[in-house]
Amino acid sequence: MEIRILQKEEIKVASGLSRYVFDYCLRNRMEYPQTISFVEEYISETNLTKLYDENKLLLWGVHEEGQMVGVSGMQSDGMITMLYVLPQQQNKGYGSMLLKVMREYGKKVCNFTKVTLNANPAWTSFYFGKKGFYHVNANPDLRAPFLPMYASSNNIEGFEKRPVSKRVIAFAVAGCILFATVVASLYMITYLF
């Protein structure tokens, strides 16, 4: 398996893969016709080539045995705009690896402190949430055509585990015991007397 930045001559394959995955996995699950039209236009070979030529988009591809099985894209402002993996290659970690590679690139090459994306359709935000992305809005509307999200470029691996002091554990245990005692006392006063 190899993940690398794609060259201009690979855009046709990347566009075709994106269109196939979109048609097979997403099109029938999207409610908004204008969003479908937007995605179709965006992933067209003509548009991807134009954005590539204008240095507004970088594309990455996952290759397995010489064949492209996944593609992703990030615009020059740090917005991840594409993430497509062939259905038969899904659940192998390719999408996660593409996201990680783009976040690392954003940090190391572009000095981004965060990357953004629009989870489209909105229910895909659950997937991105598992990959370290957060909703821009505190109360996201899952009926919306898309949901803006962001992720830090500084902590790509996830949250670092830090040891918890014995003092914090002792206070937490004592608080639980005190709470249980109060609840038990209120129960006894209410129902036994």
Q: Same domain for 94 and 174?
A: no
- Mean pLDDT for 17-41 is 88
Residue 158 in any domain: the answer is no
pLDDT at residue 15 greater than cutoff 90: yes
Place of tokens 């940090």: 107
Q: How many domains does the chain have?
A: 2
The stretch 62-81 carries a mean pLDDT of 95
User: pLDDT, tens digit, for every residue of 93-130?
Assistant: 999 999 999 999 999 999 999 999 998 888 888 899 99
- Could you tell me if 102 and 193 lie in one domain? no
Residues 123 and 170 in one domain: no
- Please name which of 55, 54, 39, 52 lies closest in space to residue 12, comparing C-alpha atoms: 52
- What does the pLDDT look like over 128-175, one tens digit per residue? 999 989 988 877 777 777 889 999 877 665 444 446 677 767 777 777
Residues 51, 140, single domain; the answer is yes
User: CA-to-CA distance for 87 and 69, rounded, in angstroms?
Assistant: 9
CA 38, CA 72: separation in Å to the nearest integer? 17
- Report which DSSP code applies to 34: H
pLDDT tens digits along 47-70: 999 999 999 999 999 999 999 999
Structural domain that includes position 172: 163-193
Residue 81 included in any domain: yes
CB of 73 closer than 8 Å to CB of 50: no
Cα separation, 167 vs 153, in Å, equals 33
Confidence check: pLDDT of 33 > 60:
yes
Record the tokens describing residue 25, joined without a space.
């996995």
What is the predicted pLDDT for the residue at 123?
Answer: 83
pLDDT at 159: 40
Taking alpha carbons only, the member of 136, 10, 143 closest to residue 70 is 10
Confidence of residue 77 (pLDDT cuts 50, 70, 90): very high
Contacts (Cβ under 8 Å, ≥6 apart) of 102: 60, 72, 74, 80, 115
Asked if the model's pLDDT at residue 32 lies above 50, the reply is: yes
Tokens of 22: 């979109």
Q: Which residues pair with 152 in a beta bridge?
A: 114
Q: Looking up tokens 């040891």, which residue turns up?
A: 163
Structure tokens at 55: 């240095």
Q: Looking at the structure, do residues 111 and 61 belong to the same domain, yes or no?
A: yes
Tell me if residue 162 falls in helix, strand or coil.
coil
- Name the region of 17 (left: φ>0; alpha: ψ -120 to 50; beta: rest): alpha
Q: Are residues 104 and 190 in the same domain?
A: no
132 neighbors 115 (Cβ within 8 angstroms): no
